[in-house]
Amino acid sequence: MFEHITASEVAGYAVGALLLSATVSATKIDSFISTSQRSSLGMCKRCGDLKLVACAKCKGSGLIKEGGPFNLIPVIDENRAFGAKSKSSSCTNCRARGHFSCPECSKLP
């Protein structure tokens, strides 16, 4: 039976279990801290420290091509007539800049 197990032995098991769980949680906490340290000290998670985020609408080009794939239909003469102006317009989403200031970085003081 369990009569031969003394109180100190039980305590020893308890401490062992506590140490084990403490070690496991300490590892988790350590990785959590290093992750947050990385994001606060190092690279921006959003823009990779470029301080800029590419516009999703124009894919960073600052121009929106109108007409989609049908724009491939030759319109050379038309373009010449309009002074080689391509059938693309400035992206209104980013004001033709192609990027925004990173909201994550600009949030920092």
Residue 52 in the binding site for Zn ion (CB under 5 A): no
- Taking the complex as a whole, the smallest distance from the CB of residue 100 to Zn ion amounts, in Å, to 8
- Taking the complex as a whole, the smallest distance from the CB of residue 76 to Zn ion amounts, in Å, to 26
Contact call for residues 91 and 65 (beta carbons, < 8 A): no
Residues touching Zn ion: how many (CB under 5 A)?
Answer: 12
> Stretches 8-16, 27-35, 57-65, 67-75: which one binds Zn ion (CB under 5 A)?
57-65
Contact call for residues 65 and 72 (beta carbons, < 8 A): no
How far is Cα 59 from Cα 19, in angstroms, rounded to an integer? 52
Q: Of 30, 49, 25, which is closest to residue 39 (Cα–Cα)?
A: 49
Burial group, residue 94, by CB count within 10 angstroms (0-12, 13-18, 19+): buried
Residue 57 in the binding site for Zn ion (CB under 5 A): yes
Residue 88 in the binding site for Zn ion (CB under 5 A): no
Residue 93 in the binding site for Zn ion (CB under 5 A): yes
How far is Cα 28 from Cα 5, in angstroms, rounded to an integer? 33
Out of 71, 105, 107, 109, the only residue in the binding site for Zn ion (CB under 5 A) is: 105
Which residues form the interface with Zn ion (CB under 5 A)?
A: 44, 46-47, 55, 57-58, 91, 93-94, 102, 104-105
